[in-house]
Every structure is written in C-alpha cells, then in structure tokens.
Amino acid sequence: MSDQPDNEKQIWTHVQKKIKEKVTSQQFTTWFESLKLIRFDADEAYILAPNSFSSEWIENNYTDVLSSTLGEVTNTCYKVKLVTESKEVKEPGPSVQSNEPSPKEKNRSNINRNYSFNNFLVGPCNRLAHAAALAVSESPGTAYNPLFIHGPVGLGKTHLLQSIYLALQERSGIQKVLYMPCESFVNHYISTIKTGDWDSFRNKYREIDTLLIDDVHFLANSQSTREEFFHTFNALYTCQKQIVLSSDCPPEEIPAIEERLISRFRWGLITRIDPPGFETSVAIIQKKTALMNMEITYDVARYLAENATSSIREIEGTLTNINKYAIISENKIDLDFVKQVIGRPTKHKSYIGIEEILGTVTKHFGVQLSQLHSKRKLKSITLPRQVAMHLARKLTNLSLEEIGGFMGGRDHTTVMHADEKIKNLRKQDRNISATLRKLETTIKKQHKQ
Ligand code: ADP
Ligand code: MG
C-alpha cells in the first residue's frame, strides 16, 4: 500500500514544495514531510500518513490546504482521503494514560479500577450523590436503601456505582457485590427465557449482598423484565441487602414504568447529579490532567472549562486529544496550542447567565432584585422568585446550590422545590406557560445580541 508510483511521486514533490510556502516550517516538518501520495481513485486522492494520530490531526486541520494544493498542481479537484497502513506493525504511540481501562484494569465484571472514590472530584453538582454513595459503601443495607442516582450522561453515575463496588471489595472481601449494566440484566433475562433455567437466574441475584445496577432506564423497554426486576428487588430488599441504581432520569420519568417500581425506588434516597459549574469543571480538569501527567497552566484549565460541554466524559476526551497531539508534535501545552487543537469552538459555551434571567424576570414582574433575594413570602414576590429559579434550572448549567446562592443564599432543596412547582404550574396553567415562553424567548434573544 505504501508504494508510491512514479507519477504520484512527482506530483507529490510539487505539492509538498507548494505546501512548504503555505505553512510554517515547523508545521511542515511535523505534519507534511512524512506524508505520501499513494494513488488516485476517481475523484479521490489517497494520502498515506505515518500513524493514526497524524492522520486524524491532518484530516481535522489541513485537508483544505492539501486538496487546494493538489488542485493547483493537477488541475483536478480531488477529495483528500487520509489513510494509514492498517496492517502496519503497531506504532509505539504516545504513552497517554487513557481513561479507558487497560485490559488488566478492566476485569470480567466490567469494573474500571480508576473509578474509585479517590479519583472522583466532589463539587456542588454531585456532593449529595457522592456522600450517599460513600455512606452506602460504609454501611451497605442500612444507610440508604435503595440508593437511586440519576442525571444526564457523562457525569459520573457509573463512576460512583463502581466506586461503591471497589470500596466494598477493599473493605470486606466477604461481601458479594455485583455490578451490572441494566442491559446485561435484560439480556440475561431474555436468554433465560430461551433456556428456562430460572433457578440459576434467580440464584445469581438473590445470593448477593449488594446489587449495583447501572442505567435502569433500560427497563423501559420490557415489561416482563421489569416484572422480574421487581421480584429481584423485593427478594434482596427483604433481606436488607443493598441495592444501588442509576438512571439518566428520575424514576417517575422512566417510560412505561409501573408505579409499584417507582414507589420501591422511593423507599430509599433519590439523588441527582448535575452538570459541573465552572469552578468544578476547572477542578476536574486539573485533577484529570494531574492523573494523566499533563502539565497545564491555570489559564489553559480555565479556557478548557469555559469551552467544555457539560459532559465530563467529553472533557476527558478533549484532554486525551490534547495530550496525544502535544506528544506527537512535541509541543508545550500552552493556550495557543490548546486553541489550535480544539479549534475555534463551534458550540462556544456561551451560557446564559443567571444575571440575564434575573434582569428579565424582575422587569417583567415589576419587582426589585432585593425582593427576590429577601425572605418575604408575598405571592407577588414568591412567583417571580420561583420563576427565576425554574428558568435558571432550565437555561443555565448552574447547580442547585449555585442557583440557591444567587437567590439570596437559599438552600438547594428550595431551588428544587421552586423548579418542580413551576414545572407543574406550567403544565396546568396556560397563562403561566405563555408567560414562561415569553420570558424564555426574551432572555434568549437578549443573550444572542
Ligand atoms: P455516566 O455514567 O453518568 O454517563 P461516567 O461515570 O461514565 O458517567 O463518567 C464519565 C467519565 O467522567 C468517567 O471517565 C468518569 O471517571 C469521569 N467523571 C465523572 N464525574 C467525575 C468526577 N466528579 N470526578 C472525576 N471524574 C469524573
Ligand atoms: Mg454510565
């Protein structure tokens, strides 16, 4: 594959010469020198990159330069296809500490040894979930049973469930702990329908001391699995065995779920993980980079936090990429380099700020900000106050605690209550729902300006 026919060789020499004039010499040596044009195929030009990292980098950053220069030399418009020799001997590659577990770290039960309590950064967005998980790992079956953790993807639910697993394993080897993605439970159930071996199915779950089921929203898909899950739950609960569940939504929002299961989930503690606020994002970035032996300055961490999506998994992906490219291009990870790697953020996280919400809400209802902050319980003030908290939940990525802070130092439960109340009003009262729509439109419009 890497043979370069004469014609292609000649063309490539011209192309490289021209590219040299378009990019810096450092860019040329890092990215272009070792490329080879290997063949043309209809309207495609195949270019061989030395490894997948440079191929990915060039594809993201330099395809325009490559195709335009190829066009200049050949007078034909080619689509550039970057390839690597797939059968080549594996490149040593940079020694990046990936967050993916190595086969050794990942044992048969899907456990990632990096998902320990020690590696979990606590902030306002996950404080309750973390405290509850820790308590469960210290006294399973008695602290909170069941413990139900919910929140959007990529925010640490699996991490916390596995932290419980790891802590229990470490503290008492005699505890029988089972961690299982719900999908595996569903698959096990379905395969048991075929084999009919219900004894071994039931024994598997009923013999354990702590059952950790991840992503229980998967139960939505099958009524009969929910039925079986219900019996498993009851059997364990009756024997005071610990049950921990995670889901991407609160119990009552799992589609098609029966009330009796929802009420079982409510017997214990239901806690939610929110997207990290700015400070927590910075702290997570600093913790992750330290774990990866990446040296970054505070302004880089800040920039990354400002431009990060709300998912910690995505933040990790960005860090891994930056590290890879820094190693391969032998660059220092400074602000310029990071900007270059993550590109001009397309979805710049230009968050709506709570100040914008408060401004619009006070103006609409004709109240003062100090009145919203106050403890006064007049309806003419409580309604705008609750509306502001609801809109802050909906439109910003601030945590409950952070919103409480902006609302005159209120507790996170007050924010949660206000949010729930307005959500319900929104469903029942057309006037309120029209007002809220209008407020949202105004806030978004002002924000764009
Ligand atoms: P979820 O199960 O909620 O989709 P995960 O538990 O898989 O999310 O988390 C995604 C990634 O983010 C994991 O690599 C996890 O280690 C990391 N992560 C999430 N929350 C934290 C945190 N608070 N501190 C450190 N790492 C975190
Ligand atoms: Mg998960």
User: What confidence score (pLDDT) does residue 285 get?
Assistant: 95
CA of 88 to the centre of ligand 2 (A): 34
Task: Give me the pLDDT at residue 392, please.
Answer: 93
Mutate to test the pocket of ligand 1, among 102, 160, 285, 312 (most ligand atoms within 8 A of CB): 312
Angle of CA points 210, 212, 213, to nearest 5°: 145
Q: Which ligand is nearest to the CA of 273?
A: 1
The sheet carrying 210-214 orders its strands as: 177-181, 210-214, 242-247, 147-150, 269-272
pLDDT value at residue 416: 92
The whole-angstrom separation of Cα 275 and Cα 157 is 12
Q: Which residue owns the Cα nearest ligand 1 atom 11?
A: 313
From first to last of its 449 residues, the chain has per-residue pLDDT tens of 456 777 888 889 989 999 988 887 767 877 888 899 988 887 788 999 887 777 877 887 788 889 889 888 887 778 899 888 753 333 333 333 334 444 434 444 578 999 999 999 999 999 999 999 999 999 999 989 999 999 988 999 999 999 999 999 887 667 799 999 998 898 899 889 889 999 999 999 988 999 999 999 988 878 888 999 999 999 999 999 999 999 998 998 888 888 999 999 999 999 999 989 889 999 999 999 998 999 999 999 999 998 887 789 889 988 998 998 888 888 889 998 998 888 755 444 456 788 889 999 999 999 998 899 888 888 899 999 999 999 999 888 778 888 888 898 898 899 999 999 999 888 888 888 889 988 988 888 877 66
Q: What is the atom index within ligand 1 of the atom nearest the CA of 248?
A: 3
User: Which residue has a Cα nearest atom 14 of ligand 1?
Assistant: 313
Does 155 sit in the ligand 1 pocket, CB within 6 Å?
A: yes
The 10 Å CB-count burial string (b at 16+, else e) for 24-48 is: eeebeebbbeebbbbbbeeeebbbb
* pLDDT score, position 351: 64
- So what's the pLDDT on residue 3? 65
* CA neighbor of 58 nearest in space, from 69, 44, 47: 47
**Rounded Cα distance, 175 and 265, in Å:** 23
Which residues contact residue 309 at a Cβ distance below 8 angstroms, ignoring those fewer than 6 apart?
315, 347, 349
Ligand 1 lined by 312 (C-beta under 6 Å): yes
Ligand nearest to the CA of residue 114, numbered in listed order: 1
The residue whose CA is least distant from atom 13 of ligand 1 is 313
Tell me the residue type at 22. K
* Atom 9, ligand 1: residue with shortest CA distance: 156
Judged by its nearest atom, the ligand closest to the C-alpha of residue 115 is: 1
Predicted pLDDT of residue 300: 94
DSSP secondary structure letter of residue 29: I
Q: Is 276 in the pocket of ligand 1 (CB under 6 A)?
A: no
